[in-house]
Amino acid sequence: MSTLLSPGEMIRAGACIGCGSCVAQAERPDVHVRFDGDGHLQPSGPASWLNAASDRFTRTCPFSKGAIDENEIAAGQFPQAPLTDVHLGRLEAAYVGHVAEGEFRTLGSSGGMVSWVAAELLRKGLIDGVAHVVAQPDPQTAGRYFQFRISRSEPEILEGAKSRYYPVEMSEILETIRNVPGRYAIVGIPCFIKAVHLLRREDPVFNERIRFTLGLFCGHMKSANFVKSFAWQLHVPEQTVQRVDYRHKDPSRPANLYNARLTTTSGQVAHRDWWHLADGDWGAGFFMNHACNFCDDVTAETADVSFGDAWVEPYSSDGRGTNVVVVRDRLVYELVEQAIAEERLTLTKVDADFVAQTQAAGFRQRREGLAYRLTWARGRHVTRKRVQPDATTPTRHRKLIYRSRYYISEWSNRLSKLANRFDAPGLYLRWAQMAAAVYHGLAYHDGKWGEIKKRYVQLRGE
Instruction: Say which residues have a Cβ less than 8 Å from residue 392's Cβ, sequence separation at least 6.
Output: none
**Taking the CB of residue 147, how many other CB atoms lie within 10 A of it?**
18
Instruction: Say which residues have a Cβ less than 8 Å from residue 159's Cβ, sequence separation at least 6.
Output: 134, 135, 151
Distance CA 253, CA 251 (A): 6
**Taking the CB of residue 65, how many other CB atoms lie within 10 A of it?**
15
Beta-strand relationship, 184-188 and 129-135: parallel
Distance CA 273, CA 252 (A): 14
pLDDT in tens, 212-227: 999 999 999 999 999 9
Q: Assign domain 66-222+288-362 one CATH number from 3.30.360, 2.60.40, 3.40.640, 3.40.50.
A: 3.40.640
Distance CA 217, CA 307 (A): 6
Distance CA 63, CA 326 (A): 23
What is the edge-to-edge ordering of all strands in the sheet holding 269-273?
A: 241-245, 259-264, 269-273
Radius of gyration for the alpha carbons in the chain, expressed in angstroms and rounded? 21
**Taking the CB of residue 392, how many other CB atoms lie within 10 A of it?**
7
Distance CA 223, CA 76 (A): 33
Hey, where are the domains in the chain?
Answer: 66-222+288-362, 363-460
The pTM of the whole model exceeds 0.85:
yes
CB 107, CB 115: distance < 8 Å:
yes
E strand segments, 167-289: 184-188, 210-216, 241-245, 259-264, 269-273
> In the chain, what is the greatest distance between 2 CA atoms, to the nearest angstrom?
63
Exposed/middle/buried for residue 417 (C-beta within 10 Å: 0-12, 13-18, 19+) = middle
Residues with pLDDT less than 70, the chain: 1-2, 445-462
Q: How far is CA 331 from CA 80, 128, 147, 338, in A?
A: 12, 17, 29, 11
Which is it for the CA torsion 179, 181, 187, 189, positive or negative?
positive
The H-or-E segment that residue 431 falls in is helix 425-444
Q: Which amino acid is at 451?
A: E
